């Protein structure tokens, strides 16, 4: 059911800058609060937000830069933390999202040649 909700949220925010910004702000705030609260189970606290962000970045529309900006903001937030759990559940997922965007961009560039 969560997967369907993630897809619905991505569809509702597609090509809608205000909705995309609001969703990104919610994701960023939730992850930031989880980091500030020193949650003992950080992985389960932010897992769904990171999955939603990863799915939303795959959406190709006019708001893709705004979504990617949120990924970079979370990446920087995660890099500043020395905790291994932050590295595991925030920094590495952000790197994976960035890597996939770069690979997708490279593949589409190669195909257009």
pLDDT in tens, 49-86: 999 999 999 988 999 999 999 999 999 998 888 788 88
Task: For residue 103, tell me if it sits in a domain.
Answer: no
Query: What integer is the mean pLDDT of 28-51?
Result: 84
Structural domain for 60, as ranges? 2-97
Question: Is residue 10 in a domain?
Answer: yes
Counted domains in the chain = 1
pLDDT at 39 over 80: no
Q: Are 48 and 2 in contact (CB under 8 A)?
A: yes
Q: Which residue has the tokens 């893709």?
A: 64
CA count, 13 A, side-chain hemisphere, 90: 29
Whether 108 is covered by a domain: the verdict is no
Q: Is residue 42 part of a domain?
A: yes
Q: Where does the pLDDT of residue 90 fall: very low under 50, low under 70, confident under 90, or very high at 90 and above?
A: very high
Q: What is the pTM of this model?
A: 0.87
Task: With beta carbons less than 8 A apart as the criterion, state whether 63 and 105 touch.
Answer: no
């Amino acid at each position: 059911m969560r997967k369907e909700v993630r897809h619905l949220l991505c569809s509702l925010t597609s090509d809608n800058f205000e909705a995309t910004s609001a969703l990104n702000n919610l994701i960023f705030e939730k992850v930031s609060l989880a980091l500030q609260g020193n949650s003992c189970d950080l992985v389960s606290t932010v897992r769904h937000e990171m999955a939603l962000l990863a799915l939303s970045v795959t959406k190709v529309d006019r708001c893709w830069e705004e979504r990617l900006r949120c990924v970079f903001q979370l990446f920087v937030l995660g890099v500043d933390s020395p905790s291994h759990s932050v590295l595991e559940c925030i920094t590495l997922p952000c790197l994976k999202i960035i890597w996939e965007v770069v690979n997708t961009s490279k593949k589409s560039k190669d195909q257009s040649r």
